[in-house]
Structure 1
């Protein structure tokens, strides 16, 4: 039975990572055509760092993703704290309204945001993409933060106020540390959703600006350039390194907490 479990887990891991391994192999393939291996090369990585279009799309993806994640997380935190102070009935109503965008089709959201921006007289471009990404990420940020906010115990907060702390100091030193895991999860999920989004970005980007998703879509007509394989490989390796750092940090925190209890 134990062997069957290991075989099953091995099949799942292969199923998840085999496509990524193929992508990594193609990024070192000297041939421009998929499915033909003609030798090992690093030329696609060299061209990647000299391609202005790809670098610009990458920088747009990075800056929009980080900025949208920051504002979505901040607004999600403020909204979650506001919902906590409502009555039970009002909380159910607002939580239901916040969950509707999660179920809404991306194409509906993208078209509606495009029409809204055009109706307001805004020119589609970098700013409209950023605002659109904040809108689509806000429900996910709330979903990460709200459960922790609802589970907060205000006794410590009130005790800090009784001991002379200002409301801001009590929030920063008592409430914020309790919400830190949810805030971090909201930020990371928002950034991932922003970097991965295509439909909403496509309808709100306008001409002359691209993110990685729209740049890859534009290349589909002529065939994806191998430089994109190299960029995807670097993205994957960056994610692996980031996860590894999180795991090391988590172990160090656990070890430090264990020493404090001794």
Structure 2
């Protein structure tokens, strides 16, 4: 009787797990499948074709938005990775503080809409001209906390006595960081950078609020939103599939690096 209960519990949990995965991933699988639909009908399958991907390759506004997203993602990744790594190192070397820990977690739990409004208000106070540069700065602010969290996971197992040994041998702080610290935490830094790139490439709300007028600062998620207001088409499905593929690839690489960072 007692042996049957754990077995029944495991089966229930397995069924629950399967249902959750079905709920999460079946809609995505349907979207990817319909992106190869031959006909122009967004929901009725009529045959396999790459026509919509070929059409994407010649769509000027989409290519321009994709270029903007790449520029924003690279810029935000570089800034947030540098600042986030410095923040993580400072937090690990400094005295434990509940206030500092809370301030690090806060950007990750604040709703995107709140952060977007706050950043737009800040730019308005500075009378800054909105454009790709304001999106890059906004995404960097959003990503710093995530970068710091990933890098700190690697620093948890870092032997800080190596820094003292390097100083005893005459190396300065900069040389010590470049020659001693950075090689040890590099997998974590790269994983954090890939995560920041993915978050920035996919982000919509903050970009929408901090972008300038016109197509010069339109990112790919903003372009998808503009297109989907007129209805879902196989072209939008194909575009969403490309964005999904970029995100999944970056996350897989980051996932493979992260275990090395935590060891």
Deviations 1:30-49 (A, max 9, x none): 23232222333222111100
The question of whether the paired residues in 1 share the 8 Å contact of 2:190 and 2:257 is answered with no
Using a 3 Å threshold, how does the CA distance of structure 1 residues 245 and 182 change in structure 2: closer, same or farther?
A: closer
Aligned: 1:79 with 2:87? yes
Equivalent of residue 186 in structure 1, options 175, 179, 192: 192
TM-score calculated relative to the size of structure 2: 0.81
2:200 is the counterpart of 1:202: no
Alignment of 1:33-112 (within 5 A): 33-88=41-96, 91-112=97-118
Indicate conservation of the 8 Å contact 2:202/2:221, yes or no. Answer: yes
TM-score computed with the length of structure 1 as normaliser: 0.82
How far residue 164 of structure 1 moved from its aligned partner, in angstroms, is 4.4
Question: What per-residue deviation string (whole Å, max 9, x for no partner) do you get for residues 115-149 of structure 1?
Answer: 21122121111111111101111111112123433
Residue in 2 that maps onto 1:212: 220
Matched, 1:227 2:235: yes
Q: Please report how far the alpha carbon of residue 9 of structure 1 lies from its aligned counterpart in structure 2 after TM superposition.
A: 5.9
Q: For 2:108 and 2:236, how far apart are their aligned partners in 1?
A: 30
Structure 1 residues 247 and 127 mapped into 2: Cα distance closer, same or farther (>3 Å)?
Answer: closer
Of 32, 40, 62, the residue aligned with 2:40 is 32
Q: Which deviates more, 143-152 or 218-227?
A: 143-152
Which runs of 5 or more structure 2 residues have no equivalent in the other structure? 1-6
Cα separation, partners in 2 of 1:244 and 1:107, compared to 1, 3 Å: closer
Q: CA deviation at 1:106?
A: 1.3
**CA 1:181–1:200 in 2, change beyond 3 Å: closer, same or farther?**
same
1:244 deviates by 6.6
Residue in 2 that maps onto 1:145: 151
Q: CA RMSD in A?
A: 2.9
Deviation at 1:174, TM superposition (A): 2.1
Give CA-to-partner distance per residue, 1:221-259, whole Å, 9 cap, x none. Answer: 211342232233334445555667778899xx9xxxxxx
- The alpha carbon displacement at 1:204 in A equals 0.6
